[in-house]
Amino acid sequence: MALDDQTRKQFVNAVERFVAERLLPNETLVEELGRVSDIILGEMAALGLFGLSIPERWGGLGLGMEDEVAVLIALCRANLSFRSAIGINNGVGSHGLLIYGSDAQRQRYLPRLAGGDLIAAFCLTEPDCGSDAAAVRTSARLDGDEWVLDGVKRYITNAPSADVFIVIARTDPDSSDHRGLSAFVVERGAPGLGIGKTDRKMGLHGSHTADVTFDNCRIPADALIGELGFGFALAMSSLNRGRLGIAAAAIGAARRLIDEALNYATQRKAFGAPIAQHQLVQAMLADSETEVLAAQCMVEHTARRFDRNLPVIKEASCCKLFATETVGKVADRVLQIFGGAGFMCEYPIERIYRDVRVMRIYEGTSQIQQLLIAKQMIKEHAGKR
């Protein structure tokens, strides 16, 4: 259900106030603690941020995609680890349960995911399978009234703290492609479930990834989500929505970078004038503004299509590709505008520069988005002939 214009504006205003009053003053604390504090997580939960996309009947806010995009743009002006804290619950960690799950599964997990009482992880990537998601090797076999999982998942966001894991595994041992994959919900504490050492990363230091291992891991038969063989469809439909979310996050981060650049460039003087008066600096500001505006228009357009149930496979990939490449370019230009100060840790630019880098990699690299866009274009072209 999409909000009416006035309600959306009120909610986005509330998020903007929360960002200004609570998140921005606490963003360096995230780096010092190496995590988002429990107090801030509680405040985010109270605002409903863990359940933006989860329908009201399952305890969430039930926002439409256009509303969610507006909220994410506002939220992502602050340290991107705040968005990571809510990202999986709102996206790949709940979407599959919502679309394919049984009522019992929805009832069991969604209200607590929406309230931030449960933290979700989404387990697709493996040591030998990332971009080629259909090559998953983790296996699941039925033994009596239990599934037995074996395999390793890599770089799994929230793994160290997650309560519930959505896992894509191969249920047809004779298959080698997407048709043999199914999805499961695995609870922390399941026998044979292990969590590896927390990864040391370039950025997003308030959000944590680790391996998730399944060693003869036994889960009940009703942990299967949807039907056998639906795992790949579930993963792809979850990622479709997730890609729009990441594109919106990239726009929020880019807007923050541009604000920082304007503040700095209008104060900092060189050759007797604020650097903002120098035309080569103006060119970097103008190019950044132009590209971010273009990315925002694309994302808002695609979100409206999503809310009207129109196809967005191609458009969501276009948004993810363009918005995440754009924020990379903007971060580089803004660091340049800051000169030596941009390289120093006392300004937020170097952190944002590192944090936005992964946006071009996870939930499908830029190259994978290019392949998806071209594949869809060719398909649409063939359909017209």
Ligand X SMILES: Cc1cc2nc3c(=O)[nH]c(=O)nc-3n(C[C@H](O)[C@H](O)[C@H](O)COP(=O)(O)OP(=O)(O)OC[C@H]3O[C@@H](n4cnc5c(N)ncnc54)[C@H](O)[C@@H]3O)c2cc1C
Interface positions with ligand X (CB under 6 A): 122-125, 130-131, 155-157, 201, 204, 209, 358, 361-363, 365, 367-368, 371
Cβ(75)–Cβ(19) below 8 Å: yes
Does the annotation count 363 as an active-site position? yes
18 versus 322: smaller Cβ distance to ligand X = 322
DSSP code string of 96-148: HHHHH--HHHHHHHHHHHHTTSS-EEEE--BTTBSS-GGG---EEEEETTEEE
Q: In whole angstroms, what is the distance from residue 130 CA to residue 352 CA? A: 25
Q: How far is the CB of 362 from ligand X (least distance, A)?
A: 4
36 versus 368: smaller Cβ distance to ligand X = 368
Q: How far is the CB of 250 from ligand X (least distance, A)?
A: 14
Q: Which of 68, 291, 300, 363 is catalytic?
A: 363
216 versus 367: smaller Cβ distance to ligand X = 367
Look-up of token digits 């990834």:
209
DSSP code string of 343-360: GSTTSTHHHHHHHGGGGG
Closest chain position to ligand X (CB):
130
Q: How far is the CB of 190 from ligand X (least distance, A)?
A: 18
157 versus 326: smaller Cβ distance to ligand X = 157
Cβ(124)–Cβ(235) below 8 Å: yes
Q: Which amino acid is at 175?
A: S
Q: How far is the CB of 21 from ligand X (least distance, A)?
A: 28
Q: How far is the CB of 283 from ligand X (least distance, A)?
A: 30
15 versus 36: smaller Cβ distance to ligand X = 36
Look-up of token digits 């992964």:
358
The angle subtended at Cα 182 by Cα 98 and Cα 83, nearest 5°, is: 45
Q: Which residues are catalytic?
A: 363
